[in-house]
Structure formats: structure tokens, C-alpha cells
Chain A
Amino acid sequence: MSEIKKYWKSLSQLNEDPIVKRLSENEFVEELPVDKFLGDKKNLSESQTSRRDFLKFLGFSTAAATLAACENPIKKSIPYVIKPEEITPGIANYYASTIYDGYDYASVLVKTREGRPIKIENNGTHSNARVQASVLSLYDSGRLQYPLKSGKEIDWKTLDNEVKNKLQEIRNGKIILLTSSILSPSTKQLLQNFINKYNRVEHAMFDSVPYDGILNANQESFGIRAIPSYKFHKTNIIVSFGADFLGNWGANNYASDYVGGRNPKSGKMSRHYQLETNLSLTGANADKRIQIKPSEQAYLLSNLYAALNGSSADKRLKSIVKDLKKNTGKSIVLSDSNDKNTQLIVNAINQKLSNYSKTLDISIPCYLKQGDTERVHSLIREMELGEVSALITYNVNPAYTLADNKRFIKALKQVNLTVSTSSYNDETAELMDYVAPDHHNLESWGDAKPYYNYVSLMQPTISPLFNTRQFQDSIISWAEMNEVDYYSYLKKFWSNKGIKWNQALHDGDFNLSESKYFPKRFVFQGKLTDNKTQDKNIEIALYESIALGDGAQANNPWLQEFPDPITRACWDNYITISPSTARDFGLKNWNISNGALNGSLVNIKSGNISLNNLPVMIQPGQANKTIGMAVGYGRKKCGKAGEGIGFNANNFSNSNFITIEKIEGEYEFACTQLHHTMMGRDIVKETTLADYIKDPSSGNERLEFSTYKGKLPSNKVTLYDEHDLKTGHFWNLSIDLSSCIGCGECVVSCQAENNIPVVGKEEVRKSRDMHWLRIDRYFSSEMTKELAVEEKISAIDMFSEMEEPSENPEVVFQPVMCQHCNSAPCENVCPVAATTHSSEGLNQMTYNRCVGTRYCANNCPYKVRRFNWFQYAENEKFDYHMNDDYGKMVLNPDVVVRSRGVIEKCSMCIQRIQDIKLEAKKNGDKIKDKDAQTACSAVCGTNALVFGDRNDQNSEVAKLREDERAYDLLDHLNVRPSVFYQTKVRNKG
């Protein structure tokens, strides 16, 4: 995987042979004036500041951001591959950097055009939708544009002076640095300077979503407060108690390992059990999913531990115990519990199964979560007692994320000096005396050490858009250190450790030679519990939505409109509840006349905490007598896009039992998918591992048509002489349904790459979402055709029952974009020939020619064509990034912004293909497999999407086309798609 990515991102200048250089310089018949600016190439190539000059000249001719970009900080950063003097307008540069906002971490590549970051690519590892979308947050005009003093603008100088004075004045009170988990070694050292500078400074860390349970457990068991590293690809059995490790639990790079260990071709597929409350992304991918209430977890884990030690197992665990016993040292058991004792049991189980240092390794710890919620509680107590005289926050928003935020807000009044470094004037910042706004990641220098002996670097790809300052620089000035700035500090920090700075910056990451940590011998001191829960109580289980996570990026319209992989709803959070429990409370979901989904309202209450008028989303797979609710919504202060969207669930994070009361009224959801089952149709083809091993083509029997030539598969049946697709390229995309976990990273990547507009909740309700790439989610239904035949059920009843998903459904995800049919129904019906076929097997839209009859969209069997119902760009009715001078800067200059009244759809990222073709032409060599990538395939961390040239015999996609699992969606239509799917294989018992 990582190899491939590395190769992909380096444009073929990587190997600097002379021909390549010469050709690339002859790209333009006449030299661009830019080169004149650059003057003497020899000097430039040596001088440190060549790019600065270049960008300066370029800057005058480009937009505000670019102007900014011409000034200092970029000057010292190293372009990813392309040498400075080879930068040409219209050619993208890639910079390796790091995204970390206190919740999401990813090592990334940033694609910049003319000094503007426009796209995030993965640097080897798997990231997620939020990381992909973070580039838009950079251009969020809702960010703070200058430092504040009690809400008024001030300049940095006065802010620094006042803060420093106040800090010095403090005598006996504590000074608290309240931050998120700090991954950056250099920052930690930097903070030490600050701590030394003033007296009684304390540094407290906490995570917006607490991980104290597992951290403390490991502290006790192994003497290290960290999360172990999991090697899912080495497992045969994965048993997850609620841990949504494919979604948001722990680090976000487990998915590639997980899928790596589930490759039917190799015959090895780990079996995945998920025992959980809400239907999570991970649960959706599990082979066997068991619904449990949160409070049962401790009991079941104890029972499992006992069973492994010989006693009898709970009936739900029987098969699990059997499998685990068979696979000692080849399994992982993990839990999302935030209770130390429960996590101790988990450790004990893994110990018992001797998984440590085989499938999970505490001696190679992961430092992503370091927060200590207890410390925060004690901090609040101290604040109330007035022991705290100064509070400086970084990367945290306690007034929003804390369960008892009201207490925190009250206590905050007791503190004389409060400084926030948030880059938004958020719920916390607005209560603070001073706000010293931080840069966005893409404007900052930095480093991060998320895992044992692995460090990734963060470098700015644009100069600050606003008058903001990096937190570290603020610290430097407040600690009155004799440093120029954080950059030089950082460079020194690593150079002293013997790191080749430029190379490291170029690669974006490097390994340290740390001495391995040897954990102390583990002895289980946790206590087992055997009290089952009483079933009558309703329990609540909070989760972080795939779209918003902890809500830090709530003002990001891409994320707000990103449909949840499971519920397919966007612009909202809500209560998920199982169908039968909903029936008990008389709660309903129903579709109104235009199909849009409405739901009942409830009030929920737990102790003295209560939330009113919550919408109810009936969710098959939700455990009975439980409700789920996503945190990260209900932001009061975050900017126009996110404010007042959804409800803040954080207050419930400590409570588990709640009471529900149905109230009058209804709520309007915005769902991109209104129908949840496959209606017995052969859309997602499925088989089990056992069958697959017997017959690789199982579940993928191809339709055959009787012709005068005898029975033929659809692609052999035709009335016409074929058009020639054999010569030149033939771009194909393979989608492996057993690798796709439905994370939706590709959806946002596609949106960023192709300038897809955001249309807002009301339009989505009208089924007018614009995503070119959607991930269909289907639930299994109790009713099947076979059953109907057996029980003599009439077709009408059968279909009406098929519409109902079963209470514990199997879930499948199916990414659907334009299938690029080679006998395309859409092309024939266009009166003006606005959509035609390319000789490379692509179905192409000519926006300029389109008059908007929408006939093509009607005639598309996959319904992937999208119509511009309104003018979405520069229209105050759609006040999202395309109506915002800053937001517009994220637009990809290679892709046109569509006008009102035209049809648009997936182009297979034709602009990328053309780019690669030109590149190859220039270098006079062939396009190598994996060179050409679509936005979706490029970011797919599980390699479910494979793009390439099918005419290139040894390309991966050509091989996949021949695979027994390969099938065309709606094969019987014989439209010959260039996109094809691979049967989903489940490892059922």
C-alpha cells in the first residue's frame, strides 16, 4: 500500500535522469515569463529562497491567499518532489505534512496549486473523511481572523504584553495549560520552558472523547499509559466489544490492516465478531454481530474470561469462545469501555490468549490518546475554589465537550486570566479574556509522534490567511524564550537528534531509533462481575459520527452534508433506536409526499441532565432498550455552516440509564437514501468464505441469454459492430465489496477534487444531493424470495415485507458512481450530443453543450447523474464555501464549476488522467499501472477501489477484471460498464 502511494505521489521526475529533465523543461514551446522572474536558474537552484521569490512574483497575479502565500513561512519548506525551479503555474506541487486537531491524526500529502492547498492525499496510511475535508476548514471564513481581548480586536503586541504582565503578577495561584493530547515532542519540550518560566504552572491534557479506561488499565497492567498497537492482519479472530475501530475508536489506520487480514484470495480471512449497542461502521462490517446493552459489556467480558478459564460461557459467547480457544495468539479482543476494570479484563483475556506481542503489542504503544479526565475534574474543583489564577487552553473546547460543561463555565469566572488559543471563537473562547487564535494545520509547522518511534512532520503549505499565530509561537513569546520562532526551534530540535531535516520534511515522516519499551509482567488484579443488567431500563450509548467526529470541524459544509454511512442522514444528529423499542414508545419514522423522512420527537432525561425535542431515527441493528446518539453536534459557536445543527450529547457522556418520553411534533431529516433493502435484487453479490474456497465464482453466476448462437453472457450479445476499445487506454475501476468498509473517505475526496457543491439540508430533503460518488448501504431483510415461495406469500406481501430491514441486519456497502457504460443509455438519448463516449471507455459530459433536458438522468439505470437545479456557486441562497471569497480558494482549477441547468456526474477524474498522460508523453515513457488514480481510488486506504488501464495486460485492474468475483452491476442490461464490482465475501461461521 504505502509503496504504491509513495510511487504515485512522486511525479516521474523522481528518478532524475537527464532526458526527463530536458523534456520537462521543453514542456512549453516558449518559456513562461515566470522563468524570467526566476532569472538565472543556476543561482536559484542553490539559493535557499528561490521559491519565495517565485511565489512572490506569482502572487501578485493571483488571489489574496496566494498573495499571502508569497510571504515568509513557505520560504523554507521543501516541495514534495518537484524542485523549486520547476514549479510552473498549472502544475500541482505536493507537500508532505501532518493533520492533527486533537482528535484526528493523519500523515498526509497536501496538493497545492499556485500556492493554494486544494486537496489532501494520504501519505501511505489510511485517514478519514474529516482529514480529507480539513482543507476546506483552512478556508473557513468563520475562523478567527485576529486576536481578541474580551471579544474586541487587538494586536498581538498588546496581547502578548498584557498576558505576560498578568502571568508575572500571579503569585500563589496556579497557571494551568489545558490542552488536548500533545503528540509533538518538540511542543512538549517547549511547554517545559513555559512551565519553568512561571511558578506553579501545570499542564493538563484531556481528550474530547475520553480514553481513560484503557489508558489507566494499561498503566496498571504494564506501567505505560498508552494504547497498544493492534496488528489486525495477523489475526484469525477479532472480538470487539463496542470498539468502533474501523470508524473512530483509537487510531484511524486500523482499516488497512483489518482488510489486509481479510483477503479471500489468499484463503485467510479473519472472523470478526462485534458485540455492540449502536450499529457502528465496524459492526456493519462484522461477520457476526451481537447486540448488547452497554451495561452488559463488563459481565460478558468477565464471562468470556471465565469461560476461557474453563467455566461455562454465556450462550451468546459460545461460538466466540470456541473460536478463540482454537486461535490462541491469533486473535484480538478489544473494548471501547471507558471503565478501567473492564479494560483490565480485556487485557487479561488477551494475556490469557497470549496475544500480546503477537497480534497486539503494548511495547509498541500508540500515543494518540493521553488525556486524563480525572485531572480535568480536579481542575474544575480547583477553579471553583479559586486556586487557579490563569488558564490557557489549546486544541480543546471544554465548555462544549465536557459532560459537566455548565460547572466548568461557572468555575471559569473564578479565574483571573483566561487565554484561549482556539482558531475559532468557540464556546470556550468566547468566555475567555484573551483569544490568541492558532493557525490551521496547513499553515503551521509542527511534528507528531503518534506511535512508538514514528514521527511525522507538519509544514505550512500556505502563509496564514488571517492575522493568526501558531500556539507554539505564542508560547515562545509568552515564555520570553530567545528563539526566532517555532520553526527554527523545531528544526534545531530534530537536527540535534541527528535527523536530516530536508529529507525528513520531504518524506513527511521518519523513524527514530528509540529503545523499545519493556512492559512489566502483567498480573490480573481486576475483579470479574456477574450481574446482568435489568432489562427494563433504557440505556444510552454515545458515539462519534463518521462525519463530524468530536465536532471540531462542525463548520465544515462538506462534513455536514456527508451522509452517515449507516443512517445515510446528513446535517443532523438524532437518537437511534431499535424498531421494536420504538414500537414500545410509539415512536415512528415516515416518508412525506416527496419521499423525505420525518421522525417523532422525544425528551430524554438522566438524573438532572435532560435534552428536549430530540428527533428519533429508527435504526435496525440497534440493541433493544437502548438509544444511541452522536456527539459533535449542537455546536453553539462555530460559524455559519455548523451553528445550531443537531444537539449536544456530551452532557450524557457519564450517564448510562435514561428515560424517554414521547412528545408531540415531528422532525425533518435529510437522508440521501430513503430505501434500505435490496428488495431481493441481485445488486450486491455475496458469498461466504467456505463457498468461495469451494468455488471462487460462487454467488457470481453470470446471466446468460439465449441467442441463435446458443447461450451467451450479456457482454457477448450485440446487434452492432463494436467500437474499438482495444487500442490506447481503457480506463476501468474495480470496486471490491469485501474490502470496502464504507468509511466514505472517497466521497469527500471526490467532492474536494471535483468542486462538487454543497446544497444544504432542505435540498437534500428534496433528494437533490449532488455527490458524484455515493456509498449505498443496504440492510438484509427477513423476507426473501425463497421464503415467499415456501410460505406461499403473495408478491404484494412479499415486496412490502422486503421493504422492512430485519432487526439485526447484515449490512453491505456499495460505492456507486457513474459506471461509464460502454453502451451507455444516457448517451443515446441526449438530443444535443452533450454526453458522448471517449475512445478510452469513459462516458463524458460536455457541460457547455448541455441544455438540461435531464433525459439522460432518467435513462440512467444507476441514477448517478446529478442536475444543477439552481445556480449553486455564488448564490447567497447556498451560502457555503462556493459563496465565500475564502471558501472558493479550495476549488480545483482543473475542474470547471458547473452552471445552473446542466447535468453533471463522475468523470473518472479525467483531469487527473490527462495530467498523467501529459506527464508520460513529456517524459516519453508509458503510463505505469497505479500512476493514474481517481480521487476516490487514490485515498482508499483499504484498496477497495482499484483504478487503471485494462488494456495494459499486467495492470492490477486488468487482472481483477478477469477475477471470478468480478461482476457488472445490473449485468442483464448489457450496458457494459467500465466500473465493475467484486463479490462480497463474508466469513460466517
Chain B
Amino acid sequence: MSNKIIHAIYDDEITLLTAVKKIRSQNINIKEVYSPFPVHGLDKALGLKETRMAITAFIYGCIGISFGGLLIYYMMISGDYKSWPMDIGNKPNWTFYHNLPAFVPIMFECTVLFAAHLMSITYLFRNKLYPGSNDSSPDIRTTDDKFLMEIEVSNSTVNIKDMLRDTGATEINEKE
């Protein structure tokens, strides 16, 4: 039994939102929605889970600050300095704590560096975005001014199409 894919195209985010709500109330599974810009409330309407990008950022930040700390601790305090202590401007370079004030800026920068970059990498990774990826929406107008709703149906599509038309879809195509 072959699955069909229906593409319903809307040209206004408000109609789209109502449509999404309506259709999901009919327990019809919306496969995907493509839009030219972030439509507020769409993720809720589609019942998408909260994204966890922020949490990853926090974790990366923690990694960053500890990396910065360790880096400095090894290079300035312990490590080779133990065997070859240096006196730089009479700074107390025998304990990390005494010298800490001078290290704050770099530890902070490391935090931001790690958080920002690693999070962005994760974002690209999770979205499968990478240079050379040929993925794109089924209808290129969705990056311009059209909103596309993708529904997968196994059985007859007629009544769904009617429903979509009622929700204000301006155009409905069906693919095998």
C-alpha cells in the first residue's frame, strides 16, 4: 500500500497556524512545515519538544571555564614552573589563588569561546546543516513568501484535501 505525500501551501502565517491547529485536532499527522521565517507559536501548535540548545551551551561554558583554568594553572603555576619557577614582576606565581585576579579575563574568554562555538556546531550538526548539503524544501517558494505543510497519508487523500482547502490552503499538490 503506497504512502502519499500532500503539500498544502499557504501564503499567510495566521491561516497556517489555524490550519495546523485544525488538522492536528483531526489527529492527522503533519510531517513537516516549511516557512520563510520563524512563525511564533508554530512549534507549540505542531507539538514540538522544547529544544535543549541552551542547556548544551551551559555545559560547554562549564567545560570552557575549567579548560581556561587548567591551561593557566599548568602553564603559569604548576607544570614546568614547579621545576623552573619564574619571577615575573614579583607576582606570586606559586599559587593559583594568589595570582587569580590576573587570570580572570582569560578564563572568562575561554568560557564564551567554548560555549558559543560548540553550541553552534551542535546546532548545525543537529539540523544536518553543512556546506554542500543539497537538502532544501520541497517547494522553493517557501524561502520567499509561501508556507508549506507536508502531510503523509496512507489511505484516500480526498477528504484531507478538502479539509486543507477549507483551512485556506491556496494550493494543494499530491505526490506518490
Direct contact of A and B (CB under 8 A): yes
Could you list which residues of chain A lie within 8 angstroms of chain B, going by C-beta atoms? 720-723, 822-828, 830, 833, 836-839, 976
- CB-contact partner of B90 in A723, A830, A839, under 8 A: A723
Take A720-B98, A721-B98 as given contacts and tell me if A828 and B86 are in contact as well, using a CB distance cutoff of 8 Å: no
List A contacts of B98 (CB < 8 A): 720-721
Q: Are A720 and B87 in contact (CB under 8 A)?
A: no
- CB-contact partner of A822 in B86, B90, B92, under 8 A: B90
List B contacts of A838 (CB < 8 A): 87
Tell me if B47 counts as interface (CB < 8 A to partner A): no
Between-chain CB contacts (< 8 Å), 12 pairs: A822-B90, A825-B89, A826-B89, A827-B90, A828-B89, A828-B91, A830-B88, A833-B86, A833-B88, A836-B86, A838-B87, A976-B90
Report how far A949 CA is from B86 CA in the complex, Å.
Answer: 21
Report how far A517 CA is from B92 CA in the complex, Å.
Answer: 69
Given contacts A828-B89, A836-B88, A837-B87, 15 further A-B contacts (CB under 8 A): A720-B98, A721-B98, A723-B87, A823-B89, A823-B90, A825-B89, A826-B89, A827-B88, A833-B88, A836-B87, A837-B88, A837-B89, A838-B87, A839-B87, A976-B90
What is the distance, in angstroms, from B89's C-beta to the closest C-beta of chain A? 4
What is the distance, in angstroms, from A331's C-beta to the closest C-beta of chain B? 51
- CB-contact partner of A824 in B86, B89, B92, under 8 A: B89
* Cβ-closest chain B residue relative to A829: B89
Report how far A195 CA is from B86 CA in the complex, Å.
Answer: 71
Q: Are B90 and A720 in contact (CB under 8 A)?
A: yes
Report how far A824 CA is from B89 CA in the complex, Å.
Answer: 5
Q: Are B87 and A828 in contact (CB under 8 A)?
A: no
Instruction: Find the residue from B86, B87, B89, B92 having the highest chain A CB count within 10 A.
Output: B89
Report how far A839 CA is from B90 CA in the complex, Å.
Answer: 11
List B contacts of A825 (CB < 8 A): 89
What is the distance, in angstroms, from A731's C-beta to the closest C-beta of chain B? 14
Q: Which chain B residues numbered 40 to 95 have a C-beta less than 8 Å away from chain A?
A: 86-92
List A contacts of B89 (CB < 8 A): 823-828, 837
List A contacts of B90 (CB < 8 A): 720, 722-723, 822-824, 827, 837, 976
List B contacts of A976 (CB < 8 A): 90
* Cβ-closest chain A residue relative to B76: A833
List A contacts of B88 (CB < 8 A): 827-828, 830, 833, 836-837
Report how far A825 CA is from B90 CA in the complex, Å.
Answer: 9
List B contacts of A721 (CB < 8 A): 92, 98
- Please name the 4 residue pairs, one residue from A and one from B, whose CB atoms are nearest each other, closest first: A828-B89, A827-B89, A837-B87, A823-B90
Report how far A824 CA is from B88 CA in the complex, Å.
Answer: 8
Interface readout for B11-50 with A: 1 if CB under 8 Å, 0 if not? 0000000000000000000000000000000000000000
Could you list which residues of chain B lie within 8 angstroms of chain A, going by C-beta atoms? 86-92, 98
* Cβ-closest chain A residue relative to B99: A720
Report how far A825 CA is from B88 CA in the complex, Å.
Answer: 9
| Count of inter-chain pairs, beta carbons less than 8 A | 37
List B contacts of A824 (CB < 8 A): 89-90
Report how far A721 CA is from B90 CA in the complex, Å.
Answer: 9
Instruction: Find the residue from A720, A826, A836, A976 having the highest chain B CB count within 10 A.
Output: A720
What is the distance, in angstroms, from A859's C-beta to the closest C-beta of chain B? 10
* Cβ-closest chain B residue relative to A824: B89
Report how far A837 CA is from B86 CA in the complex, Å.
Answer: 7
List B contacts of A722 (CB < 8 A): 90
What is the distance, in angstroms, from B31's C-beta to the closest C-beta of chain A? 56
Report how far A839 CA is from B86 CA in the complex, Å.
Answer: 9
* Cβ-closest chain A residue relative to B92: A720
Report how far A838 CA is from B88 CA in the complex, Å.
Answer: 9
What is the distance, in angstroms, from A722's C-beta to the closest C-beta of chain B? 7
Instruction: Find the residue from B87, B91, B98 having the highest chain A CB count within 10 A.
Output: B87
List B contacts of A830 (CB < 8 A): 88
Report how far A690 CA is from B171 CA in the complex, Å.
Answer: 109
Report how far A828 CA is from B88 CA in the complex, Å.
Answer: 6
Q: Are A720 and B91 in contact (CB under 8 A)?
A: yes
* Cβ-closest chain A residue relative to B86: A836
What is the distance, in angstroms, from B84's C-beta to the closest C-beta of chain A? 11
Report how far A830 CA is from B88 CA in the complex, Å.
Answer: 9
What is the distance, in angstroms, from A715's C-beta to the closest C-beta of chain B? 12
Report how far A720 CA is from B100 CA in the complex, Å.
Answer: 12
Report how far A722 CA is from B88 CA in the complex, Å.
Answer: 12
Report how far A652 CA is from B88 CA in the complex, Å.
Answer: 58
* Cβ-closest chain A residue relative to B94: A721
What is the distance, in angstroms, from A855's C-beta to the closest C-beta of chain B? 12
What is the distance, in angstroms, from A784's C-beta to the closest C-beta of chain B? 35
What is the distance, in angstroms, from A709's C-beta to the closest C-beta of chain B? 19
What is the distance, in angstroms, from A846's C-beta to the closest C-beta of chain B? 11
Report how far A823 CA is from B91 CA in the complex, Å.
Answer: 8
List A contacts of B86 (CB < 8 A): 833, 836-837
Report how far A826 CA is from B98 CA in the complex, Å.
Answer: 20
What is the distance, in angstroms, from B76's C-beta to the closest C-beta of chain A? 9
What is the distance, in angstroms, from B24's C-beta to the closest C-beta of chain A? 59
List A contacts of B91 (CB < 8 A): 720, 828
Instruction: Find the residue from B88, B90, B91 having the highest chain A CB count within 10 A.
Output: B90
What is the distance, in angstroms, from A58's C-beta to the closest C-beta of chain B? 37
Report how far A639 CA is from B106 CA in the complex, Å.
Answer: 57
Report how far A723 CA is from B86 CA in the complex, Å.
Answer: 10
* Cβ-closest chain B residue relative to A844: B87
Report how far A833 CA is from B91 CA in the complex, Å.
Answer: 13
What is the distance, in angstroms, from B88's C-beta to the closest C-beta of chain A? 5
* Cβ-closest chain A residue relative to B88: A827
* Cβ-closest chain A residue relative to B87: A837
Report how far A720 CA is from B88 CA in the complex, Å.
Answer: 13
Report how far A801 CA is from B86 CA in the complex, Å.
Answer: 47
Report how far A95 CA is from B75 CA in the complex, Å.
Answer: 49
What is the distance, in angstroms, from A699's C-beta to the closest C-beta of chain B? 29
* Cβ-closest chain A residue relative to B95: A721
* Cβ-closest chain B residue relative to A826: B89
Report how far A47 CA is from B89 CA in the complex, Å.
Answer: 55
List B contacts of A827 (CB < 8 A): 87-90
What is the distance, in angstroms, from A506's C-beta to the closest C-beta of chain B? 44
List B contacts of A720 (CB < 8 A): 90-92, 98
Report how far A976 CA is from B87 CA in the complex, Å.
Answer: 14
What is the distance, in angstroms, from A635's C-beta to the closest C-beta of chain B? 48
Report how far A822 CA is from B90 CA in the complex, Å.
Answer: 6
What is the distance, in angstroms, from B137's C-beta to the closest C-beta of chain A? 50
* Cβ-closest chain A residue relative to B101: A719
What is the distance, in angstroms, from A514's C-beta to the closest C-beta of chain B? 59
Report how far A65 CA is from B88 CA in the complex, Å.
Answer: 43
What is the distance, in angstroms, from A858's C-beta to the closest C-beta of chain B? 15
What is the distance, in angstroms, from A822's C-beta to the closest C-beta of chain B? 6
What is the distance, in angstroms, from A896's C-beta to the closest C-beta of chain B? 21
What is the distance, in angstroms, from B100's C-beta to the closest C-beta of chain A? 12
* Cβ-closest chain B residue relative to A822: B90
What is the distance, in angstroms, from A908's C-beta to the closest C-beta of chain B? 16
Report how far A824 CA is from B91 CA in the complex, Å.
Answer: 10
What is the distance, in angstroms, from B1's C-beta to the closest C-beta of chain A? 70
Report how far A313 CA is from B91 CA in the complex, Å.
Answer: 65
What is the distance, in angstroms, from A935's C-beta to the closest C-beta of chain B? 25
List B contacts of A826 (CB < 8 A): 89
Report how far A838 CA is from B87 CA in the complex, Å.
Answer: 7
What is the distance, in angstroms, from B165's C-beta to the closest C-beta of chain A? 69
What is the distance, in angstroms, from A842's C-beta to the closest C-beta of chain B? 10
What is the distance, in angstroms, from B69's C-beta to the closest C-beta of chain A? 19
What is the distance, in angstroms, from A99's C-beta to the closest C-beta of chain B? 42
What is the distance, in angstroms, from A828's C-beta to the closest C-beta of chain B? 4
What is the distance, in angstroms, from A256's C-beta to the closest C-beta of chain B? 38
List B contacts of A828 (CB < 8 A): 88-89, 91
What is the distance, in angstroms, from A772's C-beta to the closest C-beta of chain B? 21
List A contacts of B92 (CB < 8 A): 720-721
Report how far A823 CA is from B88 CA in the complex, Å.
Answer: 8
